[in-house]
Amino acid sequence: MSNSKYLWWNGSQMPWEDATIHVTDIGWSTVGAIFEGIRAYWNEDDQEAYVFRLPEHMKRFEQSMKLVRLEQEYSTEMLTETILELIRANEHREDIYIRPLAYRAGGAGGGFSSFSSKAGILIDTSPRPTHLKTGKKQDACVSSWTRISDNVMPPRVKNISNYRNGQLATMEANINGYDVPLLLNDQRKIAEGPGACVMMVRDGKLITPGVTDSILESITRDAILQIARDDLGLVVEERPIDRTEMYIADEAFMCGTAAEITPVVSVDRYQLGDGNVGPITSQLEDIFLGVLRGTDSRHPDWRTPVGLKQLAKA
């Protein structure tokens, strides 16, 4: 994997190679750590990159830190500016992924119960091209693993430890020949995938589980619901979904920062629609890509310009 020139760690921008920790810090270090996954999209005509919903991601970062009781030493405003500075320093002129991470900086040997609230913070950026409109499709299954719930390990926030649940489900799905698992929550209703929310289309309506159905409060999910409602005039429902509703859905897709919109064409080998990317999914992909890249002027509040254009002029 290629790395960027610089990252930001605990207050300074530094060469990627210089950000090292001692090997004894492995172990409990990421229990309770939280992170964000953010994308920025390059617009060739504007010679500018736009970060998608940066304030919303940084607000969730703050909320995740609060939930795991990590103290926020750096203000959200400062971290936001740091991200833009880091992208400029790395001179990315492409689609990228940005990952701020906050971990318990207790030092070696503290164990999982050491209760220092001091956070170490790392931010790195790396190229990640969009896969929207590339024809990527997934075969899904319903997992035999149950999604973690609010009283177990709250899926509402982006806690690294939560991903063990999704990792088990993904391993099982992949071994059994599926691309992605859908996890049921403890009410035995559809929750989400291991790293993305799920939506389905039935009779022209766009339907997705609600934010209290054991899902991450996804920023992409929220954007797609707004696009569906406001730009496509679709009826949108946020409600519990039965497993068999997925089998008879006309269309389905995963959505999230990494997943963007990834069409799902079968669930437990029940083919959805004609087995190709459905018409509503395709329309949503078109609008979403334009909005992300800024070639579609709608939803300007969702795009934070990085400042690469000014940099090129200077």
| Binding-site ranges for ligand PMP (CB under 6 A) | 37, 158, 192, 195-197, 216, 218-221, 256-258
Query: Between 92 and 158, whose beta carbon lies closer to ligand PMP?
Result: 158
> Toward ligand PMP, which CB reaches closer, 56 or 245?
56
- Shortest CA distance to 199 belongs to which of 226, 179, 221? 221
Shortest Å distance, C-beta 5 to ligand PMP = 26
Spatial separation of the C-alpha atoms in residues 128 and 272, rounded to whole Å: 29
H helix or E strand, kind and range, residue 139 = strand 138-146
d(CA 53, CA 184): 28
* Cα dihedral: 161, 167, 169, 171 (round 10): -160
Q: Across-strand partners of 262?
A: 254
**Tokens 């030493």, residue?**
73
Tokens of 54: 């940066």
Residue closer to ligand PMP (CB basis): 225 or 308: 225
Helix (H) or strand (E) holding 40: strand 38-43
The CB density around residue 276, as the number of other CB atoms within 10 Å, is 15
Cβ closest to ligand PMP, residue 37 vs residue 55: 37
Q: Quote the least distance from Cβ 293 to ligand PMP, whole Å.
A: 17
Is 118 catalytic? The answer is: no
The least CB distance from residue 233 to ligand PMP, in Å, is 23
Q: How far is the CB of 231 from ligand PMP (least distance, A)?
A: 18
Q: Is 99 exposed, middle or buried (0-12, 13-18, 19+ CB in 10 A)?
A: middle
Helix residue ranges, H only, 16-107: 54-67, 76-89
For the bound state, the minimum distance from the C-beta of residue 192 to ligand PMP, rounded and expressed in Å, comes to 5
Instruction: Identify which of residues 254 and 308 has a Cβ nearer to ligand PMP in the complex.
Output: 254
CB of 309 to ligand PMP, least distance (A): 26
Give phi and psi for 311, each to the nearest 5. -65, -40
**Please, which residue, 139 or 260, has the CB nearer to ligand PMP?**
260
Q: Looking at beta carbons, which residue is closest to ligand PMP?
A: 256
CA 31 remoteness from chain centre: 19
Residues catalogued as catalytic: 158
